[in-house]
Amino acid sequence: MNTTERKLVRMMADTFLKLDHIKKYFGGVKALKGVSLEVRSGEIHCLAGENGCGKSTLIKVISGAHDATEGEIYIEGSKIDKLTPIESIRLGIQVIYQDFAVFPNLSVAENIAMNRALMTGNKKMNWKEARELALQAMEQIGAHMDPDVLVERLSVANKQMVAICRAIINDAKLLILDEPTTALTANEVEKLNTIIRNLKAKGMAIVIVNHKLDEIYKIADRLTILRNGENVATGMITEFDRARFVKCMTGHEVADTIYRPEPSDEEIVKVENLTKKGAFEQVSFCVKKGDMLGITGLLGSGRGEIGDALFGIAPAEEGVITLNGKKIEIHSIQDAMQHKIGYVPEDRLTQGLFMNRSICQNTVAASIAKYLGKMGLNHNKMKEITNYWIKTIGCAAPSAEATMRTLSGGNAQKMVIAKWLNTEPSLLILNGPTVGVDVGSKADIHAILHNLAKKGIGVIIISDDLNELIHNCNKLIIMKNGRTSGVLETGDMSEAELTGLLNSGM
């Protein structure tokens, strides 16, 4: 063993942060029920778990934003009694949130240098120093940006670079990244991983919150999985195979209900050479009766843009769309809806739901004109139909009048689907239909979709959940840099094969 290796081993053994049975209650809600976590200097530690498992609460405890109800926190071996946000920063903990918390109206240099100035309590703004500091930080991670450009003009990946630069100039010892890859393209993820590995080599402890298996395998040294506010497993990444990982995440064995319909000749929707410059090119596919078509690809591959184009949010420029034997043109959302196309958007909270309105109002939002009678809108009929959907779709809702806010993610998503079913769609496009949905509801939603497909409604699922796609779609399109693989029959394709296809040059 040479000296560098020995040094590395010693560093690996240095525990930077230790959480011991952390509990956090919000009123009666137990967000964390005794979570223990150990993060060592010079390691990349992944924190995985489904939505609502307590990951973000745990991060907030570490960053000092939340006070733990019970439990002990040790940093570099010494017990911390009360961790405040500023104390946490002083101890070398830096969090990069999902929205990066950068200032869009300020320049790159100022964004990067600002935290340092705040930490030192400097009252003056030194522009020259800020610029130098920014250039230094950017050099450290190998980023190249004009320090004078305003952050509002940066791409998502570069905004993240700014956030990372800002974190590392404060002598960070522990860097926490909250779902850093959700908005990055494949190339950008690669670049980010390189940067993270470099920081690790410098002895920094790194915690990455993520739940995508492939990405975790690429970068993590160790893994901790949370479920329902408890940690269910911790260990070296090599100790986890896919089956164990999924079981730890969901608490269930994966039930293999594979949807493979009888072949049919009845064409529901046919898309030929759909093109939108800068987003996707020459996309062609056909959905026949009973088919479930999946569209996948990494972020920025154009997978979401196809959905946006078919629903008229960002219409395509060229191509022919045939729906139930009729050629249609889609230039706006109104066009799409006239042709009975429905769209379950990616971001349920901001795009799909009216959180402060009742379930009933949410259900009829896209089909309100149906209830216009001679005497104006018929509110009773709306309530009836809502109750009908709550029952049909299996939503656990107290009543039609309860506000949307009271529903869980899975139930809320069911109502978004009900909103579109109530428009009697010919084609339903779902972008990430089960993101942040619990396992039970996930299965329900898939069953609903299978039924729709059998009834002759076109169903297109856009997703990055490969497992979901393999089990539910009999046809698949893989997008890469705006181009398609052509339609693949999933048949008995395995997830590993699909992963291979996804990352291959095609």
Give contact residues for other proteins (rule: CB under 8 A): 85-86, 89, 97, 101-106, 110, 114-115, 117-119, 122-125, 127, 145-146, 149, 152-156, 158, 313, 333-334, 336-337, 343, 345, 350-357, 361, 364-366, 368-369, 372, 375-377, 419
Looking at residue 324, its amino acid is N
**Nearest residue (CB) to other proteins, 125 versus 320:** 125
Tokens read off for 169: 């100039």
The minimum distance between CB 315 and other proteins, in angstroms, equals 14
The minimum distance between CB 104 and other proteins, in angstroms, equals 6
The minimum distance between CB 301 and other proteins, in angstroms, equals 17
Stated as kind and residue range, the H or E segment containing 8 is helix 3-13
**Nearest residue (CB) to other proteins, 117 versus 135:** 117
**Nearest residue (CB) to other proteins, 62 versus 225:** 62
**Nearest residue (CB) to other proteins, 161 versus 466:** 161
The minimum distance between CB 116 and other proteins, in angstroms, equals 11
**Main-chain dihedrals φ then ψ at residue 172, nearest 5 degrees:** -70, 140
Q: Which three-class secondary structure string do you get for 214-242?
A: HHHHHHCCEEEEEECCEEEEEEEHHHCCH
The minimum distance between CB 419 and other proteins, in angstroms, equals 7
Tokens read off for 335: 């066009």
Q: What is the radius of gyration, based on Cα positions, of the chain?
A: 25
**Nearest residue (CB) to other proteins, 336 versus 498:** 336
Q: What is the DSSP letter of 474?
A: S
The minimum distance between CB 242 and other proteins, in angstroms, equals 34
The burial of 150, by beta-carbon neighbours within 10 Å (0-12 exposed, 13-18 middle, 19 or more buried), is given as middle
Looking at residue 285, its amino acid is F
**Nearest residue (CB) to other proteins, 159 versus 471:** 159
**Nearest residue (CB) to other proteins, 89 versus 453:** 89
The minimum distance between CB 171 and other proteins, in angstroms, equals 15
Q: What is the DSSP letter of 254?
A: P
Contact (Cβ atoms closer than 8 angstroms) between residue 272 and residue 318:
no
**Nearest residue (CB) to other proteins, 82 versus 123:** 123
**Main-chain dihedrals φ then ψ at residue 486, nearest 5 degrees:** 85, 170
Alpha-carbon distances of 118 from 89, 133, 280, rounded to whole Å: 11, 14, 44
**Nearest residue (CB) to other proteins, 362 versus 490:** 362
Q: Which residue has the tokens 């002598």?
A: 171
Q: Which residue has the tokens 């003056």?
A: 124
The minimum distance between CB 110 and other proteins, in angstroms, equals 7
Q: Helix 127-141 to helix 186-201 angle, to the nearest 10 degrees? A: 100
Measured CA to CA, the distance from residue 6 to residue 156 in angstroms comes to 39
Please name the residues in contact with 153: beta carbons below 8 A apart, sequence gap of 6 or more.
Answer: none
The minimum distance between CB 224 and other proteins, in angstroms, equals 24
